[in-house]
């Protein structure tokens, strides 16, 4: 391992935050028992919030952000990893309370790492990143939990809200590959053709789900993936059929949910919260192993932009303003 490496450092002095790409010494890395040569990281919405002002998540400065990354183990004091192992990291508050992936080297707790499946490249694993991993969790919860764990009826008609976003678009693709007929919900009519190209059978505008919901509406969906919350989730709840599962993972529209007990006690609907940060390693390994079968990376790559660390500083404010589209991945060798 080189003694010097490049990293993006976030610092705070009073109310002022600074972001700078610096040359650091390996002694700067203070957490964990596995040192990884990072190849790719991602720019997620949470990363943008942290870059702006720490988002009340970062406890100590100076700090290296980056909530997900992939790379190769360089040094290890952990029993499960050895030099040369290719790994993926998402969650566990890395990039928040621990130093993250916006660095050519990262030192982390080996218990946070997943061995990269042979069916994925390091780049593909970050084209997915936290968003893709969350989409996998949601999709398997909506479909296979009902069919296999609960021994329920086949899940066919599903709805995905926020389908133009990272989690939503990948959930559309995954659920289509799992054999569902997917209705995609988006506020961007310009994305209609793209959503159909990745597996949506129908596309509806978000405005159709922004009305005041009834306690129970006509049952339309066997299951759902909701990434936005608020009125959209309220309407999806009232439109979900008997024993349907809604996997909820976001609050882009609103954190509040005004509903009744009717969908739960009359139809047995289940609202299943998805938190990708602390998912078990066993579940992570299963889902990453499934990823290569369920995602079309050739199609996903068309909406991916590969950038370097310096470009992150220019792009994150645009992401916060809603002026970006697709996924950004950071090549640490670039």
Q: Contact at 8 Å (CB) between 262 and 234?
A: no
- Please determine, for residue 223, whether its predicted confidence score (pLDDT) is greater than 90: yes
Q: Is residue 132 within 8 Å of residue 296, measured between CB atoms?
A: no
Cα–Cα distances in angstroms (integers) from residue 225 to residues 3, 136, 168, 249, 280, in the given order = 45, 11, 8, 8, 21
H/E segment holding residue 41: strand 34-43
pLDDT grade, residue 82 (50/70/90)?
very high
Mean local confidence (pLDDT), 59-63: 95
Residues 135 and 112 in one domain: no
Of the residues 251, 273, 295, the one at which a domain ends? 273
Same domain, 269 and 135: yes
For residues 277 and 46, what is the distance between their CA atoms, to the nearest angstrom? 12
Provide the pLDDT confidence category of residue 188 given band limits of 50, 70 and 90. confident
Same domain flag for 136 and 234: yes
pLDDT category at 325 given cuts 50, 70, 90 is confident
Report the C-alpha gap between 161 and 60 in whole angstroms: 36
CA neighbours within 13 Å on the CB side: how many for 216?
12
Residue-wise pLDDT tens digits, 152-181: 899 999 999 999 888 999 999 999 999 999
In a domain, 20, yes or no: yes
Q: Which pLDDT band holds residue 224 (cuts at 50, 70, 90)?
A: very high
Decide which of 253, 273, 293 is a domain's last residue.
273
**Same structural domain, 104 and 193:** no
> What pLDDT score does 160 carry?
98
* 84-135 confidence digits (pLDDT tens): 999 999 999 999 999 999 999 999 999 999 999 999 999 999 999 999 999 9
Task: Residue 227: give its domain's CATH number.
Answer: 3.40.50.720
pLDDT higher than 90, residue 2: no
Axis-axis angle for helices 281-294, 166-177 (nearest 10): 70
If asked whether residues 171 and 70 sit together in one domain, one would say no
Given CA atoms 199, 205, 210, 216 in this order, what sign does their dihedral have?
A: negative
| Same domain, yes or no: 76 and 168 | no
The CATH number of residue 307's host domain is: 3.90.180.10
Question: Is 286 within the bounds of a domain?
Answer: no
pLDDT of residue 324: 83
Q: How far apart are CA 75 and CA 46, in angstroms?
A: 29
Total tally of structural domains belonging to the chain: 2
> How far, CA to CA in Å, does 32 sit from each of 6, 86, 111, 200, 280?
19, 17, 9, 42, 18
Burial of 295 (0-12, 13-18, 19+ CB in 10 A): buried
Residue 207 shares a structural domain with residue 238: yes
Do 135 and 35 have their domain in common?
Answer: no
**DSSP per position, 56-107:** GT--SSSB---SEEEEEEEEE-STT--TT-EEEEE-TTBTTTB--SSBSEEE
Percent of the chain residues topping a pLDDT of 70: 99
**For all residues of the chain together, what is the average pLDDT?**
94
Do 139 and 260 have their domain in common?
A: yes
Q: Which domain holds residue 145?
A: 131-273
Domain for residue 293, yes or no?
no
Is the same domain home to 135 and 261?
A: yes
Say yes or no to pLDDT of 1 above 60.
no
Note whether 259 and 136 are same-domain residues: yes
d(CA 330, CA 334): 8
Can you give the pLDDT at residue 81? Answer: 98
Last residue of a domain, one of 256, 273, 290: 273
């Amino acid at each position: 391992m080189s003694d010097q490496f490049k990293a993006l450092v976030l610092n705070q002095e009073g109310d002022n935050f600074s972001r700078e790409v610096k040359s650091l010494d390996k002694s700067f890395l203070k957490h964990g028992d596995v040192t990884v040569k990072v190849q790719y990281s991602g720019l997620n919405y949470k990363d943008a919030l942290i870059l702006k002002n720490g988002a009340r998540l970062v406890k100590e400065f100076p700090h290296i952000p980056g909530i997900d990354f992939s790379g190769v183990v360089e040094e290890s004091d952990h029993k499960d990893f050895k030099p040369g192992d290719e790994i993926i990291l998402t969650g566990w508050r890395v990039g928040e309370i621990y130093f993250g992936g916006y660095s050519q080297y990262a030192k982390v707790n080996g218990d946070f790492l997943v061995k990269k499946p042979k069916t994925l490249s390091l780049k593909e694993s970050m084209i997915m990143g936290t968003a893709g991993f969350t989409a996998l969790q949601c999709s398997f919860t909506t479909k296979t939990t009902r069919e296999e764990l609960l021994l329920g009826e086949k899940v066919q008609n599903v709805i995905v809200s926020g389908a133009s976003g990272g989690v939503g678009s990948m959930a559309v693709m995954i659920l289509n590959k799992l054999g569902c007929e997917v209705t995609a919900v988006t506020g961007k009519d310009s994305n209609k053709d793209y959503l159909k190209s990745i597996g949506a059978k129908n596309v509806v505008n978000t405005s159709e789900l922004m009305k005041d919901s009834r306690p129970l509406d006509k049952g339309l969906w066997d299951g759902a993936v909701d990434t936005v919350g608020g009125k959209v989730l309220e309407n999806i709840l009232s439109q979900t059929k008997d024993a349907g599962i809604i996997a909820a993972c976001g609050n882009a529209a609103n954190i509040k949910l005004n509903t009744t007990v009717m969908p739960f006690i009359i139809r047995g609907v289940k609202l299943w919260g998805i938190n990708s940060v602390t998912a078990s390693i066993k579940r992570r390994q299963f889902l990453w192993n499934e990823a290569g079968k369920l995602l079309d990376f050739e199609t996903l790559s068309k909406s991916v932009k590969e950038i370097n660390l310096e470009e992150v500083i220019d792009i994150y404010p645009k992401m916060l303003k809603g002026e970006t589209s697709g996924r950004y991945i950071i090549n640490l060798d670039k």
